[in-house]
């Protein structure tokens, strides 16, 4: 029975304007353009301000949605921003990449009419408004790397962006002098020394969504937090995985600067497990460690021809482009070869990202190959639609069986097999079954394998006593982030397997709260003992 | 930033650099490698750690100027700094006492062989080295190798020093004579493949160190995948050392050529720019 309140207002949801598909398929500018002030006000006005807040129960980090929308409605965007940031330290990111349609918006009363409040769009509007107000709106960030700290510097929120900018100029002018403006090397100073009465130091391993969320909350609680990142720039999958047209790097840089402004240090070029062991982090003075290393190990299909030149994992393809900026080769040194015809294997968000990126790099034809039907595709509906609008072709119920190569070792084709849906599997998805004799060949020059990622085993392998599943996921106590080692916590994709940005952030927040309780209890215990 | 503390030209286009990287120096063992990035626009490339000095917080690398990035690195001076150094990377098998070990180093591969030879010796092995290069001028680290090994044999392609020919020419004889328990080969892919072919006939276990193309170096991208014994392995986290009798060298060689065209273009462009720069300063 429909809720009677739903009848009162016209249900017209304000849809966020987007770049025209014919235009955007060839550029890296953001696809969704954001709401105007008028649009945001109109959308906020539709909110029914339900007392039981169903939307909030759909949010993994518990953003006070009706409250921030009320503030927005009252014209107080700054208050709206404060309300969001109480629970979500990365709102400009979540407003862009969260699957709201299966979370907050799905539970909105208006969803029954197919017109839920555009909560994601409003969150993004508020976050962008706040940045604009702080003078950070469209300011081109100092570059992705600038957000990270390579050395052991202090808690300066923008540690060395000036150095870097200066260096880049000098590098362009005269390569031989490129290093002269450099700052101090990594001294491996470890945990910042505790002053009298200061809160303990906590190490966070990985600067993706889980790590950033945990670090921000821990810093707010007064802990001295250092994030260790193995790449040269922070952000994890937000940096190397999600393309510019979905999450501009300047937005990511802005959010990371905010986390740094809370007092979080980020040390890049540290691969925990190799550069420093978990045990050594405790020796350096950290009293707790949060492992948020994500799901970074690419899966391959195991079919013939997968090692031919022109076959990339989605991780490699996207990392070359997003992190290394191969699309600017030869201005940037990292190459990529996209080819005219590209096949992307997989049906998730990563596959959509890779396919749409290939298109933007000049591919004439991009085919997404997925072995089940559209209904089973794990990608966000919106991203599938965006991809289709941009001209990506979908080959559904098609299973790759072999990649064909030419005499020089390059990809020339992808052999596919027709599938039909059989009985549901253990997750309720109907299992695809091959149709014998149905093989056909797609002529392609490039194949991107986007069939999922597993946990990177490196840290587990190098840490005696850290329990993990046979698949490599770190085992935590039920309903907790506590691992098999005291003082060591884990959360995000490394525990759950590949999931979403917001679930990882939720795990990071929960872990931060748990680490806080753990360190308080530890302090009380030692005070009691002393 | 990772400052260059010392630099030396070992041979034409082969350079040695000590770089300040205290965290890396503290953990580094022979066989480890690093990923470096020169500057904001740079690519990430792997280089083997040829020596380490934890006291000074420094690591040493030896590289041959082959492409744009190595040539640009070669132009860096003492006091300059690399934007990024990540390491130590790779899986290390600690040296064991096995008897006699034959170390085969080709070209710039002598540099990573050196610390391995030294530690193999320290744990009580007899270490015999075969060092090969195109010509006498390109032979590097002769003194270090002679200090680290019980015996060093030289080969040059042009006969300008030592045996006139390939390292594999000397292997059968040395294997018969020394009866090595193990062979360690580091050098160009054709050399490692040829060494593995010889030692397979004699059934001598052979370790090779692969120089696959990499991006992140942490197991994330799979660019460095190689087939070893029919299984897919990632050179960066499962290697770089593998059983030479199991490695699919043809696949490795083909994958190393993946961006040959782009590498040529980048180098050509780098040369043009450098000349352009000089014209401006001179004019």
A160: which chain B residues are within 8 Å (Cβ-Cβ)? Answer: 1
Task: Please tell me the distance from the alpha carbon of residue B76 to that of residue B83, in angstroms, as a whole number.
Answer: 12
Helix (H), strand (E), coil (C) string for A150-182 = CCCCCCCCCCCHHHHHHHHHHHHHCHHHCCCCC
Reduced to 3 states (helix: H, G, I; strand: E, B; else coil), residue B53 is strand
Contact B47, B63 (CB under 8 A): yes
Same-domain check for residues B83 and B118? no
Residue finishing a domain among B67, B89, B111 = B89
Residue closest to A384 by CA, chosen among A430, A419, A348, A354 = A348
Cβ contact (<8 Å) for B218 and A271?
yes
pLDDT band at B93 (very low <50, low <70, confident <90, very high): confident
B86: which chain A residues are within 8 Å (Cβ-Cβ)? Answer: 230-232, 269-271, 275
Predicted local distance difference test score (pLDDT) of residue A184: 36
- Residue B144 in domain: yes
Task: Please tell me the distance from the alpha carbon of residue B226 to that of residue A21, in angstroms, as a whole number.
Answer: 39
Same-domain check for residues B132 and B179? yes
Can you name the residues that pair with B128 across neighbouring β-strands? Answer: B102, B151
DSSP code of residue A428: S
Same-domain check for residues B200 and B135? yes
Considering only CB atoms, B1 lies closest to which of A173, A182, A332, namely A182
Closest residue of A to B4, CA-based?
A: A179
Contact B179, B100 (CB under 8 A): yes
Contact A238, A252 (CB under 8 A): yes
Cβ contact (<8 Å) for A150 and B269?
no
- Residue B240 in domain: no
Same-domain check for residues B82 and B106? no
Cβ contact (<8 Å) for A188 and B23?
yes
Same-domain check for residues B113 and B84? no
- Residue B230 in domain: no
Rounded to a whole number, what is the distance in Å from the CA of A522 to chain B's nearest CA? 29
Predicted local distance difference test score (pLDDT) of residue B248: 97
Q: What is the mean pLDDT of chain B?
A: 94
Same-domain check for residues B153 and B173? yes
A306: which chain B residues are within 8 Å (Cβ-Cβ)? Answer: 232
Spans in chain A with pLDDT lower than 70: 1-11, 136-197, 530
Same-domain check for residues B205 and B113? yes
Task: Please tell me the distance from the alpha carbon of residue A9 to that of residue A14, in angstroms, as a whole number.
Answer: 14
pLDDT band at B278 (very low <50, low <70, confident <90, very high): low
- Residue B69 in domain: yes
Phi and psi for A367 in degrees, rounded to 5?
-115, 130
Cβ contact (<8 Å) for A175 and B237?
no
Kindly report the number of other CB atoms within 10 A of residue B56's CB atom: 12
| Interval B59-84: pLDDT, tens | 999 999 999 999 999 999 999 999 99
- Residue B160 in domain: yes
Predicted local distance difference test score (pLDDT) of residue A426: 82
B189: which chain A residues are within 8 Å (Cβ-Cβ)? Answer: none
Task: Please tell me the distance from the alpha carbon of residue A483 to that of residue A490, in angstroms, as a whole number.
Answer: 6
**Edge-to-edge, what's the strand order for the sheet holding B2-11?**
B81-82, B2-11, B14-20, B58-64, B45-53, B33-37, B84-89
- Provide the domain limits for residue B81: 2-89
Task: Please tell me the distance from the alpha carbon of residue A225 to that of residue A157, in angstroms, as a whole number.
Answer: 13
Reduced to 3 states (helix: H, G, I; strand: E, B; else coil), residue B152 is strand
Burial (0-12, 13-18, 19+ Cβ within 10 Å), A434: middle
| Interval A81-127: pLDDT, tens | 999 999 999 999 999 999 999 999 999 999 988 899 999 999 999 99
Q: Which tokens sit at B133?
A: 């290069």
Reduced to 3 states (helix: H, G, I; strand: E, B; else coil), residue A410 is strand
Task: Please tell me the distance from the alpha carbon of residue A92 to that of residue A220, in angstroms, as a whole number.
Answer: 19
- Residue B107 in domain: yes
Contact A331, B42 (CB under 8 A): no
- Residue B202 in domain: yes
Indicate which CATH number applies to the domain containing B54.
Answer: 2.40.30.10
Cβ contact (<8 Å) for B23 and A151?
no
Query: pTM for the full model?
Result: 0.90
Considering only CB atoms, B72 lies closest to which of A175, A297, A319, namely A175
Task: Please tell me the distance from the alpha carbon of residue A114 to that of residue A101, in angstroms, as a whole number.
Answer: 10
Q: Which helix (H) or strand (E) holds B261?
A: helix B260-282
Indicate which CATH number applies to the domain containing B183.
Answer: 3.40.50.80
Can you name the residues that pair with A125 across neighbouring β-strands? Answer: none
B85: which chain A residues are within 8 Å (Cβ-Cβ)? Answer: 269
Considering only CB atoms, B41 lies closest to which of A186, A297, A333, namely A333
Helices assigned H by DSSP within A109-248: 119-133, 161-173, 209-220, 237-240
Task: Please tell me the distance from the alpha carbon of residue A296 to that of residue A293, in angstroms, as a whole number.
Answer: 8
Reduced to 3 states (helix: H, G, I; strand: E, B; else coil), residue A399 is strand
B191 to each of A368, B155, B198, how far by Cα in Å? 41, 12, 11
Q: Which tokens sit at A412?
A: 């020339």
Rounded to a whole number, what is the distance in Å from the CA of B283 to chain A's nearest CA? 15
Closest residue of A to B252, CA-based?
A: A307
Considering only CB atoms, B69 lies closest to which of A150, A333, A456, namely A333
Torsion-angle region of residue A184: left (phi > 0), alpha (psi -120 to 50) or beta?
beta
Contact A179, B80 (CB under 8 A): yes
- Cβ neighbors of B90 (< 8 A, separation 6 or more) are B31, B32, B33, B236, B237, B239, B240, B241
Same-domain check for residues B84 and B104? no
Rounded to a whole number, what is the distance in Å from the CA of A454 to chain B's nearest CA? 10
Same-domain check for residues B29 and B75? yes
Residue with tokens 């595709």, as numbered in its chain: A377
- Chain B interface, best mutation among A309, A334, A361, A493, by max B CB count within 10 A: A334
Contact A6, A109 (CB under 8 A): yes
Closest residue of B to A272, CA-based?
A: B87
| Interval B132-141: pLDDT, tens | 999 999 999 9
Contact A228, A204 (CB under 8 A): yes
Cβ contact (<8 Å) for A167 and B83?
yes
DSSP code of residue B161: S
Helices assigned H by DSSP within A332-435: 349-360, 381-389
- Residue B221 in domain: no
Cβ contact (<8 Å) for B43 and A300?
no
Q: Which tokens sit at B58?
A: 């420094």
Contact B149, B122 (CB under 8 A): no
DSSP letters spanning A323-336: IT-GGGTTTSS---
Task: Please tell me the distance from the alpha carbon of residue A123 to that of residue A217, in angstroms, as a whole number.
Answer: 19
Same-domain check for residues B191 and B127? yes
Kindly report the number of other CB atoms within 10 A of residue A362's CB atom: 11
Same-domain check for residues B79 and B125? no
Task: Please tell me the distance from the alpha carbon of residue B154 to that of residue B168, in angstroms, as a whole number.
Answer: 11
Q: How many CA atoms lie within 13 A of A350 on its CB side?
A: 28
| Interval B4-54: pLDDT, tens | 999 999 999 999 999 999 999 999 999 999 999 999 999 999 999 999 999
Residue closest to A260 by CA, chosen among A181, A147, A136, A121 = A147
Task: Please tell me the distance from the alpha carbon of residue A447 to that of residue B48, in angstroms, as a whole number.
Answer: 31
Task: Please tell me the distance from the alpha carbon of residue A354 to that of residue A342, in angstroms, as a whole number.
Answer: 10
Residue with tokens 């990923």, as numbered in its chain: B35
Closest residue of B to A189, CA-based?
A: B23
Closest residue of B to A450, CA-based?
A: B221
Helices assigned H by DSSP within A9-118: 21-24, 37-45, 54-57, 65-73, 77-87, 91-97, 104-107
Residue finishing a domain among B177, B209, B241 = B209
Contact A394, A374 (CB under 8 A): yes
Predicted local distance difference test score (pLDDT) of residue A146: 44
Task: Please tell me the distance from the alpha carbon of residue B174 to that of residue A47, in angstroms, as a whole number.
Answer: 84
B81: which chain A residues are within 8 Å (Cβ-Cβ)? Answer: 179-180, 182, 185
Reduced to 3 states (helix: H, G, I; strand: E, B; else coil), residue A467 is coil
- Chain A interface, best mutation among B92, B220, B230, by max A CB count within 10 A: B220
* Interface predicted TM-score of the whole assembly (ipTM), two decimals: 0.94
CB pairs under 8 A between A and B: 191
Considering only CB atoms, A319 lies closest to which of B41, B80, B221, namely B221
Rounded to a whole number, what is the distance in Å from the CA of B112 to chain A's nearest CA? 19
Residue finishing a domain among B194, B209, B224 = B209
Q: Which tokens sit at A35?
A: 């709401």
Polymer length in residues for chain B: 283
DSSP code of residue A482: B
Same-domain check for residues B175 and B113? yes
Cβ contact (<8 Å) for B39 and A409?
no
Contact A16, A2 (CB under 8 A): no
Closest residue of A to B238, CA-based?
A: A458
Burial A316-325 (b: 16+ CB within 10 A, else e): bbbbbbbbbb
Rounded to a whole number, what is the distance in Å from the CA of A229 to chain B's nearest CA? 10
**Is B227 a residue whose pLDDT tops 60?**
yes
Domain count of chain B?
A: 2
| Interval B161-208: pLDDT, tens | 999 999 999 999 999 999 999 999 999 999 999 999 999 999 999 999
Q: Which helix (H) or strand (E) holds B254?
A: helix B249-256
Task: Please tell me the distance from the alpha carbon of residue A86 to that of residue A105, in angstroms, as a whole number.
Answer: 20
Q: Supply the Cα-derived Rg of chain A in whole angstroms.
A: 24
Cβ contact (<8 Å) for B255 and A183?
no
- Cβ neighbors of B77 (< 8 A, separation 6 or more) are A176, A179, B4, B7
- Provide long-range contacts, Cβ within 8 A and 24+ apart, for A130-136: A130/A77, A130/A78, A130/A81, A131/A92, A131/A254, A133/A77, A133/A78, A136/A254, A136/A257
């Amino acid at each position: 029975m429909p809720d009677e309140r739903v009848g009162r207002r016209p249900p017209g949801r304000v849809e966020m304007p987007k770049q025209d598909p014919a235009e955007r398929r060839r550029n890296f500018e953001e696809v969704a353009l954001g709401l105007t002030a008028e649009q945001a006000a109109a959308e906020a006005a539709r909110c029914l301000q339900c007392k039981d807040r169903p939307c909030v129960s759909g949010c993994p980090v518990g953003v006070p949605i009706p409250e921030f929308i009320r503030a927005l409605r009252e014209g107080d965007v700054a208050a709206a921003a404060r309300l969001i940031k109480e629970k979500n330290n990365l709102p400009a990111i979540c407003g862009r990449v969260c699957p709201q349609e299966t979370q907050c918006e799905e539970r909105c009363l208006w969803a029954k009419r197919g017109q839920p409040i555009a909560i994601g769009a409003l969150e993004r509007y508020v976050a962008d408004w706040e940045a604009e107000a702080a003078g950070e709106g469209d300011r081109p960030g100092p570059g992705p790397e600038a957000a990270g700290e390579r050395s052991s510097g202090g808690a300066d929120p923008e540690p060395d962006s000036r150095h870097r900018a200066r260096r880049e100029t000098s590098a362009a002018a005269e390569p031989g002098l490129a290093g002269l403006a450099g700052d101090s090397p990594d001294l491996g100073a470890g945990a910042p020394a505790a002053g009298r009465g200061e809160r303990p130091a906590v190490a966070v391993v990985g600067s993706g969504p889980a790590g950033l969320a945990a670090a921000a909350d821990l810093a707010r609680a007064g802990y001295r937090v250092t994030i260790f990142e193995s790449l040269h720039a922070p952000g994890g999958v937000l940096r190397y995985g999600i393309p510019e047209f979905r999450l501009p790097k300047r937005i990511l840089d802005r959010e990371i600067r905010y986390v740094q402004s809370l007092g979080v240090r980020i040390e890049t070029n540290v691969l925990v497990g190799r550069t420093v062991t978990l045990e050594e982090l405790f020796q350096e003075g950290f009293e707790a460690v949060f492992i948020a290393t994500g799901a970074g190990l690419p899966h391959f299909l195991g079919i013939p021809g997968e090692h031919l030149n022109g076959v990339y994992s989605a991780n490699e393809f996207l990392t070359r482009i997003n992190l290394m900026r191969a699309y600017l080769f030869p201005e940037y040194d990292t190459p990529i070869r996209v080819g005219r015809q590209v096949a992307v294997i997989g049906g998730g968000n990563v596959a959509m990202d890779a396919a749409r990126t290939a298109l933007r790099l000049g591919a004439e034809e991009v085919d997404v190959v997925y072995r089940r039907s559209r209904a089973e595709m794990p990608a966000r509906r919106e991203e599938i639609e965006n991809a289709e609008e941009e001209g990506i072709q979908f080959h559904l119920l098609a299973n790759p069986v072999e990649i064909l190569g030419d005499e020089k070792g390059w990809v020339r084709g992808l052999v596919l097999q027709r599938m039909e849906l059989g009985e549901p599997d253990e997750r309720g998805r109907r299992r695809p079954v091959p149709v014998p004799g149905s093989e056909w060949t797609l002529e392609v020059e490039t194949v991107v394998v986007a069939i999922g990622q597993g946990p990177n085993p490196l840290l587990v392998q190098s840490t005696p006593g850290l329990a993990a599943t046979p698949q490599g996921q770190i085992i935590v106590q039920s309903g907790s982030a506590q691992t098999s080692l005291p003082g060591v916590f884990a959360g995000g994709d490394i525990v759950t397997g590949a999931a979403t940005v917001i679930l990882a952030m939720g795990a990071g927040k929960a872990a931060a709260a748990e680490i806080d309780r753990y360190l308080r209890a530890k302090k009380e215990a030692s005070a009691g003992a002393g | 930033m990772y400052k260059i503390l010392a630099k030396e030209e070992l041979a034409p286009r082969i350079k040695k650099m000590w770089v300040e990287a205290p965290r890396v120096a503290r953990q580094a063992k022979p066989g480890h490698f690093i990923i470096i990035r020169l500057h904001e626009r740079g690519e990430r490339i792997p280089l083997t750690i040829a020596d380490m000095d934890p006291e000074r917080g420094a690591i040493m690398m030896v590289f041959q100027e082959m492409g744009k990035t190595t040539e640009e690195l070669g132009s860096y001076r003492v006091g300059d700094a690399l934007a990024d150094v990540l390491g130590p990377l790779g899986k290390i098998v600690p040296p064991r006492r096995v008897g006699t070990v034959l170390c085969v180093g080709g070209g710039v591969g002598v540099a990573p062989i050196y610390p391995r030879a030294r530690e193999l010796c320290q744990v009580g092995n007899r270490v015999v080295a075969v060092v090969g290069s195109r010509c006498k001028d390109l032979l590097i680290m002769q003194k270090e190798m002679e200090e680290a090994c019980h015996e060093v044999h030289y080969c040059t392609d042009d006969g300008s020093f030592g045996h006139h020919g390939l390292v594999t020419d000397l292997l059968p004889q040395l294997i018969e004579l020394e009866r090595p328990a193990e062979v360690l080969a580091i050098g160009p892919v054709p050399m490692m493949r040829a060494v593995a072919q010889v030692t397979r006939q004699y059934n001598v276990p052979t370790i090779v160190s692969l120089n696959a193309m990499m991006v992140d170096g942490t197991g994330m991208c799979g660019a460095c995948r190689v087939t070893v014994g029919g299984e897919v392995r990632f050179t960066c986290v499962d290697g770089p050392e593998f059983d030479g009798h199991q490695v699919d060298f043809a696949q490795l060689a083909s994958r190393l050529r993946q961006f040959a065209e782009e590498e040529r273009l980048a180098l050509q462009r780098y040369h043009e720019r450098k000349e352009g720069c000089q014209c401006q300063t001179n004019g």
